[in-house]
Structure 1
């Protein structure tokens, strides 16, 4: 009886793993969708990549300014509108 119970529990565990893997594979977007997603990434478009670099450089400059001063620079940058 103990061996049968152990066999049934192992079978149920394997069945649960197979069901989980099958559901995970069914939700996979597929190769065509992956290629489309990769095509739309900012790194694939040189113009968007340059904009990202510029924006990151500006943010780093602002953080550097904030680290070097004791005043509240959020108030000063917000009033420059």
Structure 2
């Protein structure tokens, strides 16, 4: 009888963290759907803005690539330099 009581107590103690984790997961999943809907409605989802951001990222990567290939300190160049 004591062994059965210990098993029941161990099962209860083990199931409580699992239940709490499941409740948190369900709560976060509901918030994630709302966040996905909000992201779709942002004006930054505009194709023109995305194209501009891609071009900006290409310019930054080109500058980083040039900085990696040269021994010059590109941070010390005069300010209005362009690629």
TM-score scaled by length of structure 2: 0.71
Gaps of 5+ in 2: none
Q: Which residue of 2 aligns with 1:66?
A: 67
Gaps of 5+ in 1: none
Q: CA RMSD in A?
A: 2.3
Describe the superposition over 1:24-69 as per-residue Cα deviations: whole angstroms up to 9, x where unpaired. Answer: 3224316344212233284x31122012111111111101211221
Aligned pair in 2 of structure 1 residues 32, 63: CA closer, same or farther (>3 Å)? closer
Runs of 4+ off more than 6 Å? none
How many pairs does the alignment contain? Answer: 78
User: Which of structures 1 and 2 has the larger relative contact order (alpha carbons within 8 angstroms, sep 6+)?
Assistant: 2
2:56 is aligned with 1:29: no
